[in-house]
Amino acid sequence: MRTCAVTDAFPRMPLPTPRGEPHKDASVTHVLHIGASPGGADSRSLALADAFLDAWREAHPEDTQETVDVWNLELPEFDASMIAAKFAVLRAQNATAGQRAQWERAVRVSQQFNRADVYVFSVPMWNYGLPYRLKHYIDIVTLPGQNWRWSRDEGYQPLLGGKRAFLMYSSAGDFSEGAVTQYEDYQKPYMRQWLRFLGIETAGEIALAPTLTDPENLARVKEDAMGRARRLAVQG
């Protein structure tokens, strides 16, 4: 998230409520799956998410589902020119037409994210943390005025309260609670903190781990995780 750099960027600017097109039927829950693995059919985190989503579809047939694959999504660069466009649009309010168009590219991605009611993330562990493409997606969707705001009186305030997230993880090692490697895990704590920043409740987590093990044990680990993912989806 690019939060620390903008603490003083909006000292007097009133920020709007989160933006996004409302659903036509407010009674229908929209589930957004964000896939962060490039592994395709070989991805364990994606297989876990598929099991969860299939069970959710059976238990909640009226809900809608959408998948975003961050590896196939056209994401704008959050570089110097994007930062300049952001400040020109949101703070100085003297943006050129080109800067407004550039900032709108990020806003469109953010609004697609904001429209969901329930989020499902499939996240493999890379180097104890997240795949870089997921971090890029997070940096694009986490925008002031879209899903968080800041004021002198209240500080940071989340704008996506009432939404829930289910996280499907995989990792080569065992980073479960009580494991000697527990505090080497920067995957799950980061996701929890980011979701908390936006006001999204972490409603459930399933980890398929360790995957770096013998085939027989891996089969047991996978079967157990898939079963837990299906049960979690049914519980909703």
Residue 58, domain member (yes or no): yes
Question: Is the pLDDT at 8 greater than 50, yes or no?
Answer: no
Structural domains in the chain (count): 1
Residue 105, domain member (yes or no): yes
Longest CA–CA span in the chain (Å) reads 62
Q: For residue 181, name the pLDDT band (cuts at 50, 70, 90).
A: confident
Instruction: Tell me the residue range of the domain where 59 lies.
Output: 27-235
Residue 100, domain member (yes or no): yes
Q: For residue 179, name the pLDDT band (cuts at 50, 70, 90).
A: confident
Distance of alpha carbon 222 from the chain centroid: 23
Question: Is the pLDDT at 25 greater than 70, yes or no?
Answer: no
Residue 18, domain member (yes or no): no
Residue 1, domain member (yes or no): no
- pTM, two decimals, is 0.88
pLDDT tens for 58-89 read: 999 999 999 999 999 999 999 999 999 999 99
Residue 40, domain member (yes or no): yes
Q: What is the CATH number of the domain that holds 98?
A: 3.40.50.360
Residue 20, domain member (yes or no): no
Burial profile 63-79: b = 16 or more Cβ within 10 angstroms, e = fewer: eebeebbbeeeebbeee
**How far is the C-alpha of 82 from the C-alpha of 103, rounded, in Å?**
7
Residue 207, domain member (yes or no): yes
The three-state DSSP-derived secondary structure of 94-122 is: CCCHHHHHHHHHHHHHHHHHHCCCEEEEE
